Every structure is written in C-alpha cells, then in structure tokens.
C-alpha cells in the first residue's frame, strides 16, 4: 500500500534527521570546575544524579520544586533540605543560567537578551509584552545560527554553529523570568507576565528536536514552571517528518512558515521546500494531532513587496488551506543590513488580509516590535562561527 511505504520512508528520514542533528549537540552539562548543571535534566536523569551521591529518589521532587517552581539558583535557599545536604549538593552540582551578556529594552517595552553559554556561544531571546494586558511572549532560540537559509531571514545568513541543549533552551526562559522577577512560578490561571513561549527565535526547532522536546517537557511539567502546551507554539519552516513526531509527543501549537503559495517561489524563499514541497507540508498540517478550531494551525506569511503579496497570492493561499482549522499571521517584512527585500505597502497588506479574512480565516497583521533594537522577527543574529570542516557538514544537511 503506498500509504505504508510513505510512512516507512518518513520514519527512516526522521532517524536520519535525528542522527545528523546529534552531531551538532552542545558540550555536556559539566562546568569547568567539575560541577554538573541540574537545569535541563529530566526527572530520570536527576534521579541518577541523586543516586550517585547516595540520595533517595524523593529528593528529585524536592529539588525540582526549588529549581523550577521557586526559581532558586542557590542550594542554601532550599529550606526544606538540611544544611549538610545543601552543602553536598553545592559541591557537586550547580543550578545554572546563561549569562546575560547584553540586555536591551526597546521604546515599546520589548526586551532582547543576548545570552552567552558556557562555551562562549551566544543566542538571542526576546520578551514581547502585551501592551494592554499583564502577559507576554518569550521568543526562544533553538540553535546558534541555522542550517537553512531562507532568503529574507537574517539568522539564515549565519551558518549553523551548534544546537542549543535543553539546559540552554529552558535557561533562556528562566533567565528571562529572573529579569522580571517572576518567581515562584504562578499557579493555574494566575496571570503571568511571561505567559507564552514561541519557538521563533534563531534556528529551526525541528532540526534540534531532541533538545527542544526535552526542554519543552521540563517547561510543561506541572510541579515546576507548569506552562500548558496550549501556551507553547513551535514554528517550523516545514521539516515534514518531524512535524508528526512533535504533534504526537509534545502536542504544542504549531506555526508553519509558509511565505509562498507556489513551489517555484517557495523553493527560492524557503529552500527547504525543494525537499518538502507545499503539498507535503500541507498534508502534514492536515494530520497534525490536536488541531481544532480552538487550537488552529498558524500559517506565517512574511509580506515581501512585489514578491508574494498580490491579491492572486491571497486567493491561492485561501484555496490551499481550505477546510483546515487555521489562521494566517501576516508578518510585514523586517529589514536587516544587506537584505534585498522590502516590506509590502500597508495597502497591499490590508488587501491581502481582507481576502483571507473574508474567506473565514483570522488574518492578524503582526505588529513589528522592538525594531529599534533589531528584535523583530527574522532580525536575530549573533557572531558565532564554526570551523570550516563543520560548515561542510551544514551543506550536507540541506542536500
């Protein structure tokens, strides 16, 4: 049966992607002084660490609470743990945070962090407050650089340096929470300033699936940060075989960077399209688990003047997504130094939005935020470099 053949192919390809991705994994959890970082470990891994110092499994629950609910970084503040054990823990372990090498706050309240990790690599994280309400989104990076090279994206001009590890992905969120002093983690429906996570920073999260999944499971854990899967959105440029896995295993909200309605144009704008063309991408969206009217798939569409912003494009978009629980997020292009693209005019964006909206799909126009500090979508970039041999590996990944 052709359908079965397809599934097998997908599974094989998934293994290939995961194996390739592992080559870009970060250095381990041990600091230069020999202490191991507990942040980013799964409960099972924490249990192994506790056993290694002769402690019982119930310590995991206790420590988890202090790290992820209370947000402490100092074992001496773990008041439910006796002093001698606090000292023993501090000798062997640490509760790390990425170092905030630079923090900039935009005139509109958006805050951009440049985080430096233990090996000196850096990535950017952006907090975007909701101007009317006490809540906001934390835009998290998943890789230093990106293997893909979408033509309109600043990150895409930077070669992939490495994946971010689970400690670094969770750490971005925790360090942003430190910056707003939002500990302990608010429970249940209590309003949160840092209320959602969008995996829309640097990198392609589905090319670093193992670390992203591990980090999101930690963030979703109810005895810690406790962010529900409905408050997490993963944005992908269309790594089809991994979309199924993310849906089944994490069930987070999905955003797909569509940006073009014809394969010839999408091949150019999002080169990954040559591997996973629009029809395959949309089929993966249609089978994405948990998609419903309450949890619609977001199609991101960057508005590029004279490139993808005609009324015919809008009508074709509506035809492509017909019958899907979806919304379309129109992103006015954010320019960066050296780009050849321009932002569509306000009237072109409005005309496009009206056609999509009239067809029954919400089509919000994303207001550019933090432009004065280059914090808007697609503007993130660091100076990280990787030696030549590894750069050749990048090229192999996009064959």
Q: Is 124 in the site for ligand SAH (CB under 6 A)?
A: no
Looking at residues 129 to 168 of the shown chain, list those that interact with ligand SAH (rule: CB under 6 A): 150, 152-153
149 interacts with, out of ligand SAH, ligand SF4, none, CB within 5 to 8 A per kind = ligand SF4
- Written as one string, the DSSP assignment of 159-215 is ---EEPPHHHHHHHHHHHHHHTT--SPPPTTS--SS-EEEE-SSS-GGGSHHHHHHH
171 interacts with, out of ligand SF4, ligand SAH, none, CB within 5 to 8 A per kind = none
Q: Which of 66, 276, 299, 333 binds ligand SAH (CB under 6 A)?
A: 333
Query: 305, 300, 375: which is closest to 343 by C-alpha?
Result: 305
Residue 366 gets which letter from DSSP? Answer: P
The CA–CA distances, whole Å, from 112 to 9, 23, 109, 156, 379 equal 41, 29, 10, 19, 11
Kindly tell me which of 93 and 152 has the beta carbon lying closer to ligand SF4. Answer: 152
Q: Give yes or no for a contact between 171 and 37, defined as CB atoms under 8 angstroms apart.
A: no
Determine the interface stretch with ligand SAH among 27-35, 75-83, 235-243, 346-354 (rule: CB under 6 A). Answer: 235-243
4 in active site: no
Looking at residues 246 to 265 of the shown chain, list those that interact with ligand SAH (rule: CB under 6 A): 257
Q: How long, in residues, is the chain?
A: 399
200 interacts with, out of ligand SAH, ligand SF4, none, CB within 5 to 8 A per kind = ligand SAH
377 in active site: yes
Query: 329, 331, 341, 320: which is closest to 268 by C-alpha?
Result: 341
Q: Which of 124, 168, 204, 300 is catalytic?
A: 124
Separation of alpha carbons 220 and 230, rounded Å: 10
Q: Which of 110, 235, 308, 344 binds ligand SAH (CB under 6 A)?
A: 235
Q: Which of 153, 253, 285, 377 is catalytic?
A: 377
Please state the closest distance from residue 334 (CB atom) to ligand SF4, in A: 11
Kindly tell me which of 167 and 332 has the beta carbon lying closer to ligand SAH. Answer: 332
Q: Which helix (H) or strand (E) holds 112?
A: strand 111-116
- List the catalytic residues: 124, 377
Binding site for ligand SAH (CB under 6 A): 150, 152-153, 200, 204, 235-237, 257, 300, 302, 331, 333-334, 377-378
């Amino acid at each position: 049966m052709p359908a079965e053949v397809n599934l097998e192919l997908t599974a094989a390809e998934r293994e290939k992607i995961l194996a390739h991705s592992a080559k870009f994994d970060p250095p381990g959890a041990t600091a230069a002084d020999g202490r191991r970082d507990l942040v980013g470990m799964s409960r099972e891994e924490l249990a192994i660490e506790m056993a290694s110092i002769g402690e019982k499994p119930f310590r995991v629950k206790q420590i988890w609470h202090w790290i992820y609910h209370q947000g402490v970084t100092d074992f001496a503040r773990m008041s439910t743990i006796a002093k001698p054990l606090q000292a023993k823990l501090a000798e062997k372990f640490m509760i790390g945070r990425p170092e905030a090498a630079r923090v900039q706050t935009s005139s509109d309240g958006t805050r951009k962090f440049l985080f430096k990790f233990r090996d000196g690599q850096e990535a950017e994280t952006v907090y975007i407050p909701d101007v009317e309400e006490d809540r906001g989104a934390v835009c998290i990076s998943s890789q230093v650089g990106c293997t893909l090279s979408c033509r309109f994206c600043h990150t895409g001009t930077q070669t992939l340096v490495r994946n971010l590890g689970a400690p670094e992905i969770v750490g971005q969120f925790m360090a942003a929470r430190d910056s707003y002093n939002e500990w302990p983690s608010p429970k249940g429906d209590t309003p949160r300033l840092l209320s959602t996570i969008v995996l829309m920073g640097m990198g392609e999260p589905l090319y670093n699936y193992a670390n992203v999944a591990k980090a999101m499971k930690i963030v979703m854990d109810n005895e810690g940060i406790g962010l529900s899967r409905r408050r997490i959105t993963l944005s992908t440029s269309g790594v089809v075989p991994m979309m199924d896995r993310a849906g089944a295993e994490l069930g987070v909200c999905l955003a797909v960077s569509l940006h073009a309605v014809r394969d010839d144009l999408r091949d150019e704008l999002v080169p990954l399209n040559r591997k996973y063309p629009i029809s395959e991408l949309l089929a993966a969206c249609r089978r994405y688990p948990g998609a419903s009217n309450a949890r619609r798939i977001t199609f991101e569409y960057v508005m590029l003047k004279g490139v993808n912003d005609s009324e015919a494009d809008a009508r074709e978009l509506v035809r492509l997504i017909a019958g899907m629980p979806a919304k379309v997020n129109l992103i006015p292009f954010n320019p960066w130094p050296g780009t050849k693209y321009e932002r569509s005019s306000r009237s072109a964006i409005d005309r496009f939005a009206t056609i999509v909206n009239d067809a029954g799909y919400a089509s919000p126009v994303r207001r550019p935020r933090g432009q004065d500090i280059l914090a808007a979508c697609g503007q993130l970039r660091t100076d990280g470099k990787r030696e030549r041999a590894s750069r050749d590996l990048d090229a192999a990944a996009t064959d």
